[in-house]
C-alpha cells in the first residue's frame, strides 16, 4: 500500500510543508476517531478534479464502517458533495440527511484542512479535507462522556479548518505510552478550571492521592497538592496542566506515574480552553527504568572487558619484547593484535546505548592498529578504506573485526613483506549481503595456493562458522592478492 507521502506527491498538488502538515494530522487521527466515535479519513485533491483518500483511522471503542482500508481509493459519489463543498468553501459541511453505506445509516461531516491562517478578507488555502463518518446504526442515548468527547471532536474539527490544529509546536514523536482519549480525558476552561473528567482520568488522580472530585477544581492546584514539594518536577508541568501549550509531562506521586498531554483549544486563534489526556504509565516507566539500568550495566561490563583485554594485550606485548625466540615473538605479537582488535569492539559498545556498533568507526581503529603493528623492517604499507560497512550487531562486529584483522595483517606481513605497497579494503553493503574485498599490491599467493596456517583457520572459522558467510582468496589481475568476504544480511536488521 502506498504511503501518505507517495499518494500526495503523486497528485502533484502539494509541497513538502503541506505533506508534513498532513502527516502530523494523520498522526492524531486516532485521537480524532476516538473522540468523534467515528471513522476519520483524510482526502487530497487529484489532478482530475476528484479526491483520493490518503489516511484512514478507525475508532477504538466503536464498530468501524470500513472493514477494508479505503486508503488509495477515490471519493465515493455519496460523499463527494460534502468533500468538494468543504474544499471549495473552506467551511465545515455536514450531510443534509443520513447517508447509507453498506446498508448502514451514517452521518458525514467534512472539514477543510488549512495549514496557514489567511490574511483578513482573503479565502483560506485548503490543502485537503478530513471527513468524519459516524455510524448511526449504533445510536443510543449518549452518556455525558460521549457528549463531551463529541464536543471536543467538534472543536478540533473547527481548529483544523482554521489552521490551529495540528500544532507544529507539539512534540513530533510522542514518548512510549503517550495517553489516548480512552485512557483518561480532562477538559479545562480558559482559566484552567476542570469542567469534565472522565472516570479513567479521575481514577488516575485518585491513585496519586487526590480523593476529591476534579470537576470545578483548578487542575494546576490539584497537581500542586498531590506532587511532593521535595520532588523535582518537569519544568513544563505548570504549562501542561493549565493547557497553555501543546506539550507533554509526567506526574509522579505515591509510586504512581501519570503521563499528561495538553491540547489547547482555540477559536479564531484565541485560546478557549484545553483537553488534557492522561494515562497511568507506572508499569511502563518502571520497565523503561529497568532497561536503562540494564543498559548501563551492559556498558559497564563491556568497559571492564575492554580494560581486561587491554591488560592481556599489554602483557603479551611485554612478553613478546622479552622473548629471545623470533618464532615465539611473532606468535605473541599476533595474539596481542587479536586481543586488541576484540577490545576495540567492546570499547565501542561501552560508549553506546544499543548493542549495535558503527563498524566503520570500529574498523578505522582496527586498521590503524594493524598498520602500526604488522609492518616490519623494510615494509612500507599504506592502508585505504572505501565504502561503508554500516551498523552491525555486536555478535557480528566482533568476529568480522577479528577476521579482517587477520586478513589485513597477512596482506601487510606477507604480501608486502620488504617492499612498499598498498592494502585497500572495499566494503559494499546491500539489503541482501555485505561484501568486503581486501586488495593488496604485494607478491600474490605463493604458488597460487592459500596457506593453512593458524590465521587462515581463524578466518575460515569466523566467516563461515559464526557469520554464515564465504571467503575466497585469488591472485589479482595485476598481481597481488584479492580476498573476498561475503556475509548474508538476512539475519541483520537493515540500518
- Confidence band of 449 (pLDDT split at 50, 70, 90): low
Q: How many CA atoms lie within 13 A of 99 on its CB side?
A: 20
Taking the C-alpha atoms of residue 209 and residue 253, their distance in angstroms, rounded to an integer, is 8
The answer, yes or no, to whether residue 494 has pLDDT greater than 50, is no
The count of domains in the chain is 2
> Does any domain span residue 212?
yes
Of 366, 380, 305, nearest to 337 by C-alpha is: 366
Strands 270-280 and 391-393: unpaired
> Does any domain span residue 16?
yes
Residue 24's domain comprises 4-161
> Does any domain span residue 147?
yes
Beta carbons within 8 Å of 463's beta carbon, 6+ residues apart: 399, 403, 469, 470, 471, 485, 487
Q: Specify whether 139 is located in the same domain as 217.
A: no
Q: Specify whether 16 is located in the same domain as 64.
A: yes
Please say whether the beta carbons of 53 and 123 come within 8 A: no
CATH number, position 43: 3.30.450.280
| Cα angle value 253/175/227 (rounded, 5°) | 15
> Does any domain span residue 9?
yes
Q: Specify whether 110 is located in the same domain as 225.
A: no
* DSSP letter, residue 70: -
Q: Specify whether 263 is located in the same domain as 123.
A: no
Q: Specify whether 80 is located in the same domain as 220.
A: no
Average pLDDT over residues 54-79: 89
Q: Specify whether 127 is located in the same domain as 223.
A: no
Each residue's pLDDT tens digit, 348-389: 667 665 667 788 888 888 777 776 655 555 567 788 888 998
Q: Specify whether 22 is located in the same domain as 125.
A: yes
Each residue's pLDDT tens digit, 69-95: 899 999 998 899 999 999 999 999 998
Q: Specify whether 144 is located in the same domain as 185.
A: no
Q: Specify whether 204 is located in the same domain as 239.
A: yes
Instruction: Report in angstroms the alpha-carbon separations of 249 from 96, 255, 257.
Output: 42, 16, 10
- Confidence band of 427 (pLDDT split at 50, 70, 90): very high
> Does any domain span residue 373?
no
Report the mean per-residue pLDDT for the chain: 84
Taking the C-alpha atoms of residue 480 and residue 264, their distance in angstroms, rounded to an integer, is 70
| Lowest-confidence region among 97-101, 128-132, 388-392, 479-483 | 97-101
| Lowest-confidence region among 24-38, 265-279, 335-349 | 335-349
Q: How many CA atoms lie within 13 A of 440 on its CB side?
A: 28
Residue at a domain's end among 161, 195, 230:
161
Residue at a domain's end among 280, 315, 340:
280
3-state secondary structure of 122: coil
- Confidence band of 102 (pLDDT split at 50, 70, 90): low
> Does any domain span residue 391?
no
Residue at a domain's end among 98, 126, 161:
161
Taking the C-alpha atoms of residue 359 and residue 368, their distance in angstroms, rounded to an integer, is 14
Q: Specify whether 45 is located in the same domain as 95.
A: yes
Each residue's pLDDT tens digit, 117-137: 888 888 899 999 999 998 887
Q: Specify whether 110 is located in the same domain as 192.
A: no
Q: Specify whether 25 is located in the same domain as 151.
A: yes
Please say whether the beta carbons of 184 and 198 come within 8 A: yes
Question: Is the pTM of the predicted complex or chain greater than 0.75?
Answer: no
Average pLDDT over residues 103-109: 83
Choice between 86 and 234, residue whose per-residue pLDDT is larger: 86
Amino acid at each position: 500500500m502506498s504511503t501518505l507521502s507517495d499518494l500526495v506527491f503523486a497528485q502533484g498538488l502539494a509541497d513538502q510543508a503541506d505533506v508534513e502538515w498532513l502527516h502530523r494530522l494523520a498522526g492524531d487521527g486516532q485521537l480524532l476517531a476516538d473522540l468523534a466515535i467515528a471513522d476519520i479519513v483524510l482526502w487530497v485533491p487529484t489532478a482530475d478534479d476528484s479526491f483520493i483518500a490518503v489516511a484512514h483511522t478507525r475508532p477504538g471503542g466503536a464498530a468501524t464502517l470500513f472493514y477494508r482500508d479505503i486508503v488509495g481509493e477515490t471519493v465515493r459519489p455519496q460523499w463527494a458533495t460534502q468533500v468538494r463543498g468543504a474544499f471549495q468553501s473552506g467551511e465545515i459541511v455536514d450531510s443534509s440527511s443520513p447517508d447509507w453505506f453498506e446498508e448502514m445509516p451514517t452521518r458525514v461531516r467534512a472539514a477543510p484542512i488549512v495549514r496557514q491562517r489567511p490574511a483578513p478578507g482573503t479565502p483560506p488555502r485548503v490543502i485537503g479535507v478530513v471527513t468524519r463518518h459516524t455510524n448511526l446504526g449504533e445510536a443510543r442515548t449518549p452518556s455525558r462522556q460521549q457528549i463531551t468527547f463529541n464536543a471536543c471532536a467538534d472543536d478540533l474539527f473547527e481548529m483544523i479548518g482554521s489552521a490551529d490544529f495540528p500544532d507544529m509546536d507539539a512534540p513530533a514523536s510522542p514518548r512510549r505510552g503517550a495517553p489516548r482519549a480512552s485512557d483518561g480525558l480532562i477538559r479545562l476552561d480558559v482559566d484552567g478550571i476542570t469542567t469534565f473528567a472522565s472516570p479513567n482520568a479521575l481514577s488516575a488522580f485518585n491513585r496519586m492521592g487526590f480523593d476529591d472530585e476534579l470537576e470545578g477544581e483548578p487542575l494546576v492546584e490539584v497537581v500542586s497538592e498531590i506532587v511532593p514539594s521535595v520532588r523535582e518536577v518537569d519544568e513544563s508541568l505548570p504549562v501542561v496542566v493549565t493547557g497553555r501549550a501543546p506539550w507533554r509531562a509526567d506526574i509522579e506521586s505515591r509510586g504512581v506515574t501519570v503521563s499528561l498531554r495538553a491540547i489547547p483549544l482555540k477559536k479564531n486563534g484565541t485560546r478557549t480552553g484545553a483537553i488534557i489526556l492522561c494515562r497511568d504509565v507506572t508499569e511502563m516507566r518502571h520497565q523503561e527504568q529497568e532497561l536503562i539500568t540494564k543498559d548501563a550495566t551492559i556498558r559497564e561490563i563491556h568497559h571492564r572487558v575492554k580494560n581486561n583485554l587491554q591488560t592481556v594485550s599489554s602483557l603479551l606485548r611485554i612478553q613478546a619484547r622479552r622473548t629471545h625466540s623470533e618464532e615465539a615473538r611473532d606468535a605473541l605479537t599476533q595474539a596481542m593484535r587479536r586481543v586488541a582488535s576484540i577490545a576495540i569492539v567492546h570499547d565501542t559498545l561501552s560508549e553506546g546505548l544499543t548493542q549495535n556498533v558503527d563498524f566503520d568507526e570500529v574498523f578505522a581503529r582496527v586498521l590503524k592498529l594493524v598498520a602500526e603493528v604488522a609492518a616490519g623492517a623494510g615494509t612500507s604499507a599504506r592502508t585505504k578504506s572505501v565504502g561503508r560497512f554500516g551498523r552491525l550487531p555486536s555478535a557480528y562486529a566482533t568476529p568480522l573485526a577479528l577476521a579482517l584483522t587477520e586478513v589485513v595483517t597477512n596482506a601487510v606481513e606477507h604480501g608486502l613483506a620488504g617492499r612498499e605497497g598498498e592494502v585497500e579494503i572495499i566494503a559494499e553493503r546491500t539489503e541482501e549481503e555485505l561484501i568486503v574485498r581486501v586488495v593488496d599490491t604485494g607478491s600474490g599467493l605463493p604458488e597460487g595456493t592459500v596457506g593453512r596456517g593458524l590465521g587462515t583457520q581463524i578466518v575460515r572459522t569466523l566467516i563461515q562458522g559464526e557469520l554464515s558467510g564465504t571467503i575466497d582468496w585469488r591472485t589479482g589481475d595485476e598481481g597481488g592478492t584479492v580476498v573476498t568476504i561475503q556475509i548474508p544480511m538476512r539475519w541483520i536488521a537493515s540500518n
